[in-house]
Structure 1
């Protein structure tokens, strides 16, 4: 006999569980973030490793697949570093233009809001003092990145090496009657993450080419660098797209006169976003799990609050895995529907009213 507890008992228990989970995720951030990235990379490299394993020993195939991935990443980093080197060619001209714009803004603030230049300088100094803690966090973040560079390859190798051990544990930890459902969840999760990541890589490459081409045509300086950065930022749903547009607009403001180029940039990026959202994402990012816009924005912000920038990138794959699990468990299916992108035409209250109407007609 299933014992059902009232809502006023279940709600505090669920809330307490969420608080403990969030606290543990925050405390164990330095361990879990590289482990999460390593898990995604291991799932992505698994097909290549399995193909190499047909002719080579397991350890050799894992090392070769990781070396291929590292070479690709190093090639991308070399390309970006060469573009960053060109960025500093016109730094002095941009500084001068920035000083002119700052002077214009100061005059406008003084004329519109009555804030004197000295008061504005004082406000900037106060803001600078308040940012010292943030600078310290940034330096800690740099040290964290250096540690992640060494941890992620080690984690990835060990996860791929002990893949069978981990899978057997997940099967054996559940009862035999649930093993079929566990197998379905694991296979669907692997397929969803693989298709999601591969689709994102292809989509990002196309968006980078479109961004760079548009900025080159408009004559924006450092067009390729800004176009690639914009494509990477586009990985963050909705939020990244706004920042991606702001970067070339700021560059055009610092390097050109007037506002024609800025308006053309906004129009070009709006067209690229339309192509991306309506053509590239539906056809290329062929993930089996579709998360609605509201949940995407909320989960990205929550990921940023919990784990910073890495949390923003990890949030969507994490919520996709949760949706797969929710869809497979009977009591959690409503949560899976809430995360999904399938919008019902009518809510349950309307359906119940429609079912009652024929009964009323008969009585009349």
Structure 2
């Protein structure tokens, strides 16, 4: 067993470039895992810089100087963020408060419906089981209230953190975009000299990460707007809140769509019951989800969707457990990175070819 591990190690890590690649990846993993909370504003700025690099390049190609392009794009981005902060967030907060106020009535309606099951289906419903379910539901709701209360008590700290982000992140974005070449050269100077494989993986992943971030933002906007139009057309309660939840659910492949469907269906069920309007809303919402999964995602992520669904779900679970939100957000690129690194490492065939070439 030990000899087999040694042979595998020699086969994969006989090249010093492979060792440098693994060392760079380990250093990045350790840095983000242990110090990610300290450099969180920098990580957010890097992600947003990837997103804003595309319009900056387009303006530069039109003849505008790089600095002027950066100033225009960053100013437009700050304006959009302020519009969202003072336009969308107050409305979403009002709908959250309205939902919390309606939850007791929803629970009462649900309790009355569950209590009527023994009379409506005497052969199928178990009264003791129903009581256990209702007691558990009541306990969960009370626990949810305590969680909301604790969250509101900690909101002052969140507001302070948000204020820091609102100041630091735009500044970091500006300097990352303006001094992009200088920063890349400075970072390359501290990397190992034997980094041929690392450069190969970086060249492959750089464009994929940029396209992924841009495509994911476009998907969030399209799915969110389409869902809002559907909810608004049918007169569903809390349309903006639910549409934002549906939009951000695309961050978690497969799992997010299933999780966000539950509150949408429950709100519609409590509002209309099992009536025609409920079924039409569910059909329209299902069409939005179907178009997202079968049309929008293949168009935006033609390279990433080559990963098997099981690999994507495992990547979401693993990287989400390691890095939380950012692990979930970058689950697909990270899975692609693992695949690219595995293919980049030397194999037995590569070593044989190198030995044959050196022999001749």
Q: Output the CA distance in 2 between the equivalents of 1:319 and 1:94.
A: 41
Q: Output the CA distance in 2 between the equivalents of 1:118 and 1:269.
A: 29
Q: TM-score, normalised by structure 1?
A: 0.69
The answer to whether 1:68 aligns with 2:76 is yes
Matched with 1:253 is: 269
The answer to whether 1:298 aligns with 2:314 is yes
Give the superposed CA RMSD.
Answer: 4.5
Q: CA deviation at 1:241?
A: 0.7
Matched with 1:163 is: 180
Q: Output the CA distance in 1 between the equivalents of 2:31 and 2:176.
A: 22
The answer to whether 1:87 aligns with 2:85 is no
Do the aligned residues in 1 keep the contact of 2:220 with 2:248 (CA within 8 Å)? yes
Matched with 1:189 is: 205
Q: Output the CA distance in 2 between the equivalents of 1:193 and 1:217.
A: 36
Which deviates the most, 241-250 or 263-272? 263-272
Q: Output the CA distance in 2 between the equivalents of 1:292 and 1:284.
A: 17
Matched with 1:147 is: 164
2:307 partner SS: coil
Describe the shift of the 1:145–1:28 C-alpha distance in structure 2 as closer, same or farther (beyond 3 A): farther
Q: CA deviation at 1:151?
A: 3.4
Matched with 1:97 is: 105
Deviations 1:100-145 (CA, angstroms, capped at 9, x unpaired): 2353377479924274799659845984699599749965666544
- Residue correspondence of structure 1 range 277-292 to structure 2 within 5 A: 277-287=293-303, 290-292=306-308
Q: Output the CA distance in 2 between the equivalents of 1:244 and 1:124.
A: 19
Q: Output the CA distance in 2 between the equivalents of 1:122 and 1:232.
A: 28
Deviations 1:179-222 (CA, angstroms, capped at 9, x unpaired): 5x555544433321222222223333332333233323433123
Q: Which structure is higher in RCO with an 8 Å CA cutoff and minimum separation 6?
A: 2
Do the aligned residues in 1 keep the contact of 2:96 with 2:241 (CA within 8 Å)? no
Matched with 2:14 is: none
Matched with 1:43 is: 50
1:31 partner SS: coil
Do the aligned residues in 2 keep the contact of 1:199 with 1:286 (CA within 8 Å)? no
Q: Output the CA distance in 2 between the equivalents of 1:141 and 1:307.
A: 19
The answer to whether 1:213 aligns with 2:238 is no
Q: Which runs of 5+ in 1 are unaligned?
A: 334-364
The answer to whether 1:319 aligns with 2:335 is yes
Q: CA deviation at 1:278?
A: 1.6
Do the aligned residues in 2 keep the contact of 1:86 with 1:222 (CA within 8 Å)? no
Matched with 1:330 is: 346
Q: CA deviation at 1:40?
A: 2.1
The answer to whether 1:7 aligns with 2:19 is no
Do the aligned residues in 2 keep the contact of 1:97 with 1:255 (CA within 8 Å)? no
- Residue correspondence of structure 1 range 334-345 to structure 2 within 5 A: none
Which residue of 269, 276, 281 corresponds with 2:292?
276
Which deviates the most, 161-170 or 91-100? 91-100
Which deviates the most, 273-282 or 300-309? 300-309
Describe the shift of the 1:129–1:103 C-alpha distance in structure 2 as closer, same or farther (beyond 3 A): closer
Q: Output the CA distance in 1 between the equivalents of 2:302 and 2:6.
A: 41
Q: CA deviation at 1:237?
A: 0.7
Do the aligned residues in 2 keep the contact of 1:204 with 1:234 (CA within 8 Å)? yes
Do the aligned residues in 2 keep the contact of 1:289 with 1:323 (CA within 8 Å)? no
Q: Output the CA distance in 2 between the equivalents of 1:260 and 1:203.
A: 30
Q: TM-score, normalised by structure 2?
A: 0.69
1:149 partner SS: helix
How many aligned positions are there? 325
Q: Output the CA distance in 2 between the equivalents of 1:116 and 1:189.
A: 52
Q: Which runs of 5+ in 2 are unaligned?
A: 10-18, 118-124, 350-360
